[in-house]
Amino acid sequence: MKAVLKKLLTFIITVLLVTLFVFVAFEMIPGDAATARLGINATPEALEKMREEMGLTRPFFVRYFSWLGSFFFGDMGVSYSYGVSVRSMLASKLPITLTLTLMAFIMVVVLSIPIGLYSSKYEDRVFAKVIDVSGQLVMSIPPFFLGILVTYVFGMLLHMFTPGGFVSYDINFGKFISYLIFPALAIAVPKAAMSTKLLKTSILSERRLDYVRTAYSRGNSTMDVLYKHVLKNAVIPVITFLGMTLADIVAGSLVIEQVFSIPGYGRLLISSIANRDYPVVQAIIAIIAMIVIFINLLVDVTYQVLDPRLRGN
């Protein structure tokens, strides 16, 4: 309970700092939302009137704490660019980004664990060595570039999907899922390669310990030792990595959305930054920060459940 309370305190402090940094960043960047709305040719009088209407003339900390208080009660303000509730805008985008994130994470788990087990069990075979070399290559490719390659190969050459032909979940859910398979793959493959290597390294390290030799001396087969003894210990650092991976996917999916023209949080965030749409940017960054910290909290709790040695800490 003490550890959870510490994490919750860290959660609150981090969100406060992130939102504060966002406010400070927009204060330092030349221009403001009024200029973005009226254009650079607007008269000083029109700009000043627009700033007053948008509340930009109030002191910095007054605006910050006013937004912060409203945010935690579910009121994220009104978009400067679209004049609609930020909460309604984000609510319509959340299923898209969330689905993409979950699909990519499932792909990471499904690809990495079986391949990691195979490459550790048959480490001297040619195919296992090919997996190692391929993993090193894939890990060095940035997801956005891999997204471009996926678009070119599967979209333009093989015609397995139409680049830019995104279909919303409320129009055709099947086509929505089928389109997201390829951006999810672009996100998942580098992470799966990292997770595979970590699992293999962890398993090989565990196999050298004394308890493994004891298990063999008791007549256990290789499969029994691997799945009943080695794996449950070797998988602990992998779970930690997967938790970090999920947090990274949440942030990384924003870039992939741009590559595949997916109208999720990523495209909305970039357009809102360009338009100085403060309420939208602040809300998206705060939500992403809370999701990432919450994932880290779950990872810590899961780690303590799997490793009894940490429960007393």
Q: 167: left (phi > 0), else alpha (psi -120 to 50), else beta?
A: beta
Residue that finishes a domain, picked among 12, 38, 72: 72
Q: Indicate the burial class of 190 (C-beta count within 10 angstroms; 0-12, 13-18, 19 or more).
A: buried
Q: Which domain holds residue 53?
A: 2-72
Q: 84 in a domain, yes or no?
A: no
When divided into structural domains, the chain yields a total of 2
CA distance 5 to 263: 36
Q: Are residue 169 and residue 54 in the same domain, yes or no?
A: no
Q: Are residue 167 and residue 19 in the same domain, yes or no?
A: no
Q: 86 in a domain, yes or no?
A: no
Residue that finishes a domain, picked among 72, 107, 131: 72
Q: Are residue 57 and residue 21 in the same domain, yes or no?
A: yes
Residue that finishes a domain, picked among 22, 40, 72: 72
Q: Which residues contact 164 (CB under 8 A, 6 or more apart)?
A: 260, 261
pLDDT of 38 reads: 76
Q: 240 in a domain, yes or no?
A: yes
Q: Are residue 16 and residue 115 in the same domain, yes or no?
A: no
Residue from 227, 149, 238 nearest 186 by CA:
149
Q: Are residue 53 and residue 168 in the same domain, yes or no?
A: no
Query: What is the domain-level CATH number for residue 275?
Result: 1.10.3720.10
Going residue by residue through the chain, which has 313 residues, state the pLDDT in tens, using 9 for 90 and above.
676 677 778 778 887 888 788 778 777 777 677 777 777 778 888 888 888 887 778 888 888 888 888 888 888 888 877 878 888 888 888 899 999 999 999 999 999 888 888 888 888 788 888 888 888 888 888 878 888 899 998 888 888 888 888 988 888 999 999 999 999 999 999 999 988 888 888 888 887 777 878 877 887 777 777 777 787 778 778 887 888 888 888 877 878 888 898 988 888 888 888 777 878 888 888 888 788 877 877 777 776 666 655 555 4
Q: 85 in a domain, yes or no?
A: no
Q: Are residue 126 and residue 223 in the same domain, yes or no?
A: yes
Q: 214 in a domain, yes or no?
A: yes
Q: Are residue 64 and residue 205 in the same domain, yes or no?
A: no
Joined tokens for residue 120 = 């550790």
Q: Are residue 305 and residue 229 in the same domain, yes or no?
A: yes
pLDDT of 143 reads: 78
Whose structure tokens read 């509730």? 85
Q: Which residues contact 171 (CB under 8 A, 6 or more apart)?
A: none
Q: 77 in a domain, yes or no?
A: no
Residue from 313, 181, 195, 183 nearest 246 by CA:
195
Q: Are residue 50 and residue 109 in the same domain, yes or no?
A: no
Is the pTM higher than 0.85? The answer reads no
Is residue 177 helix, strand or coil?
Answer: helix
Whose structure tokens read 């999907």? 161
CA dist 3 to 7, 11, 12, Å?
6, 12, 14
CA distance 214 to 229: 11
Q: Are residue 209 and residue 264 in the same domain, yes or no?
A: yes
Q: 83 in a domain, yes or no?
A: no
Per DSSP, 56 falls in state T
Q: Indicate the burial class of 304 (C-beta count within 10 angstroms; 0-12, 13-18, 19 or more).
A: middle
Q: Are residue 279 and residue 140 in the same domain, yes or no?
A: yes
Q: Are residue 47 and residue 166 in the same domain, yes or no?
A: no
**Residue 4: φ, ψ to 5°:** -65, -40
Q: 235 in a domain, yes or no?
A: yes
